[in-house]
Structure 1
Amino acid sequence: MTDASERTVISSVDDFHDAVEALALGEGPVAVDAERASGFRYSQRAYLIQLYRRGSGTFLIDPPAIAEFAPLQEVIGGVEWVLHAASQDLPCLREVGLDPVTVFDTELAARLLGLPRVGLGSVVEELLGIHLAKEHSAADWSTRPLPASWLEYAALDVELLIDLRDAMAVLLEEQGKTELARQEFAAVVAKEEKPPLAEPWRRLTGVSALRADRHLAAARELWLARDDLARSTDTAPGRLVPDASLMVAAKALPSSRRELAALKQFSGRASRSEIDRWWAAVERALTTDDIPVQRRGTDTLPPPRSWSDRNPEADLRLKGARAALTALGEEHAIPLENLLTPEFLRRLAWSPPAELTVASVSAALAELGARPWQIELTAQPILDSFVEAIQSAEPSDSSAS
């Protein structure tokens, strides 16, 4: 490991190529981490990439300063990457051209091992006996220059990952979960990014409470205006004007710029400096013929709390299956959400196969995206609970009078 006093950020092409050469001479897996500026910047790009490999050392790379990452990808692309919560970092790593073939996800491994807490600091302390401070996890990593304490934090995030991976691999083998983990790690790598939403403004917090069409139009236009400003300034939208403030304006639907400016709850650091922008958005909402529909066609299932009224049979199936899988998860020390994706179970309970057999339930789970190990463990308990739900819903036989 590099001495803490020598932590430096690689920001020149020559130093980058030196790091790549050193990593090529290392051995075994490579630990990888990335730091973003979520909550500060509009983009989700990486502002620091950390790597560690035995026999090579630790490298902290400044992605905005390095235009081409192909040499690094060529050296480490085929090596196992060790990450903690890989799904969070892979998108920004892929954005610069870094993409693994295989990973070992220590956060996911912690879940499969049934550890009580799965944050990196907790897992490192639990398995390695080392206290790892996490005070800079929510920092603005687009800051330049990066403080020395942040660099130390960032380096330790990868320097302990290989030892952690090795300790977890032993535990996974002892618990008979090595193959489970392999399938889960492969699923993380293979998972495709979700396509952009057709109407992303509908994710505005509280928008579902709006009923009048013009109010919905105002929410849309205000969201689009904020998104345009956020994108152009690379600022997190909520730091300009919070969702709650946009909703205040959409609900009030002011009839003038003065009326909009007078809304005390319409706050945020750009709520007044960009008042013309927001008023222009409200004006568009007041005059547009493009009125958003109240409800969208969607395949989203209703919330389970409403199932007892809307689909009582599905409600019985879901409750029975949840109880069965909860017990199964406890038996195998695997959290319910890792034993089977909750959305898969809800969809299966809502629309089960016409003919209930282990084969049909297994096929339905596979179509939804469940991994083979999940199907092997859960298909039979799900089938049994569904059959029991059918039987409990049937009226009891009564003797003829």
Structure 2
Amino acid sequence: MSEPTTASAVSEEPVSEEPVSDTSVSDSSVSAGQDATEAVDSPEAPAEPTAPPSVPLDEPADGVPHVVETERGLTEAAAAIAAGEGPVAVDAERASGYRYGQRAYLVQVRREGSGTWLIDPIACPDLAPLDEAIGRAEWILHAATQDLACLAEVGLRPRQLFDTELAARLLGLPRVGLAAVVEHYLGLALAKEHSAVDWSTRPLPQPWLRYAALDVEVLTELRNLMGVDLALQDKSEWARQEFEALLHWEPTERVDPWRRTSGLNTIRSRRGVAIVRELWYARDDIAQDRDTSPGRILPDAGLIAIATQAPMSTDDLPRGHRAIARYGRQWVAAVKRASAIDEADLPPRTLRSDGPPPARSWADKDPVAAARLNEVRTDLTTFAEQHRIPVENVCSPDPLRRVVWRPPVARDVEGFADALRSHGVRQWQADVVAPLLAKAFETHPDPA
């Protein structure tokens, strides 16, 4: 989870760190626009049928289940899930922006013939019995990468899965949030007003439990309908490869996570950067000790304000946030640690990237590479529009730039496919992109 971004002023308000996912993809369908124009221009064109209003989904079919909080209850839940049939809908609720880390504070599972179960992983920290009960059955999740890590922490790991958010992207849906996808396929309105609450709260309020149960209520029906559409659009194999890759997904461990501190770019000296680093780790230690989100201890703007003044005593600390005074000794100790670092050991202001330079500079550095990249981008955009899929889901920008900037020795389709796969590109993506790369390199050969 990224550190909170804040304004330049030191704010007294806590900063929410709930991840904001990109849940919309622009719909650039030309034909749809033409149809709409023709309908307006032609007096004989029939009126477009009005979509029926969505039906609120505000109560689970079987009511809101009790929360499993004992080992006996967990054994009962596992037995029920084992006796069910078909895939298992799975979800987890975290306390992002409230607690330290990304652990799960509620796990929801639902299966045909088993009903819905809400399990407290704080009271039952080892869900291995549930994992064994699910076995090799397919998991259904929405936005799997948000939950896989915290579910693995409590012993839940899928053997196969279906991600309804990723499927929505592959199918070209204009909005891919769970509520939007449910409305698109089922005509149901799924409320999401409790998505960013503090799920570490105990006891959990009944409206929150209702929300949690509804999150898995229709995932199986949704998965079946989306599976049909994937087949109709000849994208089943694309989805299979994407879901298979998710089974091996792990969160990226960031190098120097403190470098994501908002406002770090305003610090002009290496010594100042070292102070920010020490302050960041001091805040992280406090947050971990208090089991509180770091942004609720002190916003990034507070760290930058302290680093700018570099106080050597608590009397010299900047004013404006009570946490600066409350943890004054820790902040001053961090500044002193940074001040004692030898000049040669100070961290650089920026890290050198192992990737190619920014694409905007290619025209000056290597015009041929720039022309190749532009051609492939244009062809990829055309492919994406024709197949109604976001271009970034056909190929992420980073591996594409890397292969164009440092091409393989064999500049044929197979050579480019191997190079793309070495950067984590799926086989179906390599099958699409490699021929475009080979064509671009043939059109724009190396200068004589």
TM-score of the pair, normalised by structure 2: 0.82
CA contact (8 A) 2:143 2:164 kept: yes
Alignment correspondent of 1:399: none
CA contact (8 A) 1:261 1:275 kept: no
Alignment correspondent of 1:78: 136
- Per-residue CA deviation, residues 275-332 of structure 1 (Å, 9 max, x unaligned), is 1211111122222324223343541443322333333333222222111101111111
Q: Does structure 1 residue 235 correspond to structure 2 residue 295? A: no
> Where in structure 2 are the equivalents of 1:112-191 lying within 5 Å?
112-191=170-249
CA contact (8 A) 2:168 2:176 kept: yes
Which region of structure 1 is more displaced relative to structure 2, 270-279 or 304-313? 304-313
Q: Find the aligned partners of 1:155 and 1:272 in 2 and give their Cα distance.
A: 43
CA contact (8 A) 2:60 2:210 kept: no
CA contact (8 A) 1:240 1:271 kept: no
Q: Find the aligned partners of 1:311 and 1:191 in 2 and give their Cα distance.
A: 35
Deviation at 1:250, TM superposition (A): 1.6
Helix, strand or coil: the match of 1:52? strand
Alignment correspondent of 1:369: 424
Alignment correspondent of 2:388: 333
Q: Find the aligned partners of 2:429 and 2:327 in 1 and give their Cα distance.
A: 52
CA contact (8 A) 2:417 2:434 kept: yes
Q: Find the aligned partners of 1:13 and 1:229 in 2 and give their Cα distance.
A: 33
Alignment correspondent of 1:360: 415
Gap change, CA 1:4 and 1:54, over 3 Å in 2: closer
Alignment correspondent of 1:388: 443
CA contact (8 A) 1:26 1:53 kept: yes
- Per-residue CA deviation, residues 321-360 of structure 1 (Å, 9 max, x unaligned), is 1111011111111111111122111111221123421121
Alignment correspondent of 2:330: 277
Gap change, CA 1:348 and 1:154, over 3 Å in 2: same
Q: Find the aligned partners of 2:63 and 2:218 in 1 and give their Cα distance.
A: 18
- Per-residue CA deviation, residues 55-105 of structure 1 (Å, 9 max, x unaligned), is 000000000100321111111131100000111110000011100110000
5+ residue gaps, structure 2: 1-58
Deviation at 1:251, TM superposition (A): 2.5
- Per-residue CA deviation, residues 336-387 of structure 1 (Å, 9 max, x unaligned), is 1111122111111221123421121111111112111111122112222333
Q: Find the aligned partners of 2:283 and 2:297 in 1 and give their Cα distance.
A: 8
- Per-residue CA deviation, residues 36-55 of structure 1 (Å, 9 max, x unaligned), is 01111111100000000010
Alignment correspondent of 1:54: 112
Helix, strand or coil: the match of 1:214? helix
Helix, strand or coil: the match of 1:63? coil
CA contact (8 A) 1:82 1:104 kept: yes
Deviation at 1:216, TM superposition (A): 1.1
Which of residues 280, 291, 305 in structure 1 aligns to 2:360?
305
Identity, % of aligned positions:
51
Which of residues 314, 318, 335 in structure 1 aligns to 2:373?
318
AA partner of residue 344 (structure 1): P
CA contact (8 A) 2:169 2:393 kept: yes
Over aligned residues, Cα RMSD in angstroms?
Answer: 1.9
AA partner of residue 371 (structure 1): R
AA partner of residue 35 (structure 1): E
AA partner of residue 226 (structure 1): R
Deviation at 1:209, TM superposition (A): 4.1
Q: Find the aligned partners of 2:291 and 2:318 in 1 and give their Cα distance.
A: 25
Q: Does structure 1 residue 14 correspond to structure 2 residue 72? A: yes
TM-score of the pair, normalised by structure 1: 0.92
AA partner of residue 91 (structure 1): A
Q: Find the aligned partners of 1:82 and 1:6 in 2 and give their Cα distance.
A: 20
Deviation at 1:5, TM superposition (A): 5.2
Gap change, CA 1:308 and 1:210, over 3 Å in 2: farther
Alignment correspondent of 2:48: none
Gap change, CA 1:251 and 1:306, over 3 Å in 2: farther
Helix, strand or coil: the match of 1:60? strand
Helix, strand or coil: the match of 2:86? coil
CA contact (8 A) 2:355 2:402 kept: no
Aligned length: 388
Alignment correspondent of 2:44: none
Deviation at 1:390, TM superposition (A): 3.8
Higher relative contact order (CA 8 A, sep 6+): 2
Deviation at 1:161, TM superposition (A): 0.2
Q: Does structure 1 residue 249 correspond to structure 2 residue 302? A: no
Q: Find the aligned partners of 2:250 and 2:442 in 1 and give their Cα distance.
A: 34
Q: Find the aligned partners of 1:313 and 1:139 in 2 and give their Cα distance.
A: 51
